[in-house]
């Protein structure tokens, strides 16, 4: 172990163990002799895997519901959520590079078991909630494009494990290339749909400025928290702190500082791209549905069927379905990696990726299949939004440990977060916790 790392080990209860995702740990070389742009390109990738979680199918449901019911007003929440995400994801990279631990390992090595085991259970609940959203989103995408019944589509989603296995065998760069390619397809689909919808750009700009109604209106707050839960996702914090370590960036302090700079640039650029997609979903819903008096559209299937007559072009629903399917496939890959990181990091338990994937997906398929069979499209829409609120409620249990660790000089050494950054991060953590408490109070009192 390097001298810098050995000094930091004194700040942890337990010594650092084997890295999660050990088969790809430091597998991508960062040439110190290459140009700055070449090194930056070598770091590009993990941020886009993280960005996938900010535009998964669950996000579509909350954004569609928010845009159709309240127009452009919740764009401010999407922007604020994205700014929070940029700060928190930069802390994930900082934790990984400074301590050599992902967030799950850090919780295991910093807390006693009576704290770390419940944190593990909450992280697993968050991943299952994410997976339910992916199952439903992918099934709806298959239904919209190929006409496959939702019940059958839910079962077909179990087969996506083979995509992940194939990509992981080819190398982690292929996983990143797959993700980035599908993100490009999603961007093109939404660019065309926004052009066809012709939104009121003055209203769009005003929507990025927050109003007090977001907090005072319980229904708007519920959707705002859903957007927050769909944007800043718990499993993404574990994911990012793990996959940053696929880069072989060296062990000295200057090398780690450089790695932190490039990793932060990567995640920030990728999350700005995610904001464009998130905003596009909400803008499309506001322009196509709220603007025509359809204020109750929250179902992905209903949105798909209404796009052709409202936008006046038959290809619009197809583009919507393609983008949704791509989102579901992308989220499948990243949720699998996050699940591995959480299980290996908290429990030191290694499972073959396909076993881990099938267990998680089986747990997700049961409620998704039940709701699909008994309640149809309306039930799946409600379940999608519920999963995002569950994620929002789980978020604090990942955010508070992350902020605590990165603010600790004993744990982070010279790469400890600056006071101003820690202050912003603590404010974000308290705001998230406060909004969740208000949501629970509103829910209990009806």
Q: Are 369 and 151 in contact (CB under 8 A)?
A: yes
Work out the pLDDT band at 437, boundaries 50, 70, 90: confident
Largest CA distance in the chain: 66
Work out the pLDDT band at 1, boundaries 50, 70, 90: very low
- Let me know the angle formed at the C-alpha of 383 by 440 and 352, rounded to the nearest 5 degrees: 105
For tokens 């990025």, the residue is 208
Collapsing DSSP to helix, strand or coil, 75 comes out as: helix
Number of domains the chain is built from: 1
pLDDT in tens, 96-138: 999 999 999 999 999 999 999 999 999 988 888 888 877 888 8
Q: Are 130 and 387 in contact (CB under 8 A)?
A: yes
Best CA proximity match to 380, nearest among 56, 57, 55: 57
pLDDT in tens, 390-426: 777 788 899 999 999 999 999 999 999 999 999 999 9
For tokens 């982070």, the residue is 412
Burial classification of residue 77, based on how many CB atoms lie within 10 Å of its CB (0-12 exposed, 13-18 middle, 19 or more buried): buried
The CA distances from residue 1 to 25, 66, 100, 110, 138, in Å, are 16, 50, 11, 19, 44
Over range 220-239, report the average pLDDT. 79
How far is 407 from 412, CA to CA, in rounded Å?
8
Domain extent, residue 314, equals 3-444
Q: Are 124 and 342 in contact (CB under 8 A)?
A: yes
Q: Are 272 and 127 in contact (CB under 8 A)?
A: no
Return the structure tokens found at 358. 């099938």
What DSSP letter does each residue of 290-314 carry, written as one string? GGGT-TT---HHHHHHHHHHHHT-T
DSSP 8-state symbol, 17: -
CATH for 237: 1.20.1740.10
Best CA proximity match to 160, nearest among 370, 344, 361: 361
Best CA proximity match to 367, nearest among 43, 65, 135: 135
pLDDT in tens, 425-436: 999 999 888 877
Residue 16 has phi, psi (to 5 degrees) of -65, 130
Cβ neighbours of 79 (radius 10 Å): 18
Return the structure tokens found at 57. 């199918």
Return the structure tokens found at 130. 């994410």
pLDDT at 337 over 50: yes
- The whole-number pLDDT of residue 214 equals 84
Distance, CA of 294 to chain centre? 29
Over range 252-256, report the average pLDDT. 92
Q: Cβ neighbours of residue 330 under 8 Å, at least 6 residues apart? A: 52, 56, 179, 182, 183
User: Does the pTM exceed 0.85?
Assistant: yes
């Amino acid at each position: 172990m390097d001298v810098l790392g050995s000094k930091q080990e004194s700040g942890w209860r337990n010594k650092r163990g084997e890295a999660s995702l050990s088969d790809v740990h430091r597998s991508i070389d960062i040439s110190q002799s290459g140009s700055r742009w070449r090194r930056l390109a070598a770091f590009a990738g993990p941020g886009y895997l993280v960005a996938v979680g900010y535009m998964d199918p669950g996000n579509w449901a909350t954004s569609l519901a928010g845009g159709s019911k309240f127009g452009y007003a919740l764009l401010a929440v999407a922007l604020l959520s994205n700014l929070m995400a940029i700060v928190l994801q930069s802390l994930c990279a900082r934790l990984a590079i400074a301590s050599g631990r992902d967030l799950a390992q850090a919780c295991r090595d910093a807390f006693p078991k009576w704290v770390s085991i419940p944190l593990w259970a909450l992280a697993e609940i968050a991943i299952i909630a994410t997976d339910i959203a992916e199952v439903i989103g992918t099934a709806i995408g298959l239904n919209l494009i190929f006409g496959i019944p939702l019940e059958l589509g839910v079962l077909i989603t179990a087969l996506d494990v083979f995509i992940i296995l194939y990509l992981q065998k080819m190398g982690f760069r292929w996983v990143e290339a797959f993700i980035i390619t599908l993100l490009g397809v999603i961007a093109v689909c939404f660019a065309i749909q926004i052009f066809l919808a012709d939104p009121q750009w003055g209203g769009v700009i005003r929507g990025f400025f927050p109003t007090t109604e977001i907090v005072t209106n319980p229904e708007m707050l519920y959707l705002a928290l859903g957007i927050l839960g769909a944007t800043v996702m718990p499993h993404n914090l574990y994911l990012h702190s793990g996959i940053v370590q696929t880069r072989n960036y060296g062990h000295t302090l200057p090398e780690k500082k450089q790695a932190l700079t490039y990793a932060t640039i990567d995640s920030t650029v990728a999350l700005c791209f995610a904001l464009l997609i998130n905003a596009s979903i909400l803008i499309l819903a506001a322009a196509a549905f709220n603007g025509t008096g359809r204020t109750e559209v929250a179902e992905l299937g209903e949105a798909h069927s209404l796009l052709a007559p409202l936008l006046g072009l038959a290809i619009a629903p197809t583009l919507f379905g393609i983008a949704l399917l791509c989102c579901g496939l992308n989220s499948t890959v990243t949720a699998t990696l996050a699940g591995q990181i959480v299980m290996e990091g908290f429990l030191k338990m290694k499972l073959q990726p396909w076993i881990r994937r099938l267990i998680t997906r089986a747990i997700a398929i049961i409620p998704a299949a039940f709701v699909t069979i008994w309640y149809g499209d309306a039930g799946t829409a409600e379940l999608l939004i519920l999963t995002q609120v569950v994620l929002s409620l789980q978020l604090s249990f990942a955010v508070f440990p992350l902020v605590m660790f990165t603010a600790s000089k004993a744990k982070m050494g010279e790469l400890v977060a600056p006071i101003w950054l820690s202050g912003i991060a603590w404010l974000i953590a308290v705001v998230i916790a406060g909004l969740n408490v208000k949501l629970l109070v509103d829910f209990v009192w009806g």
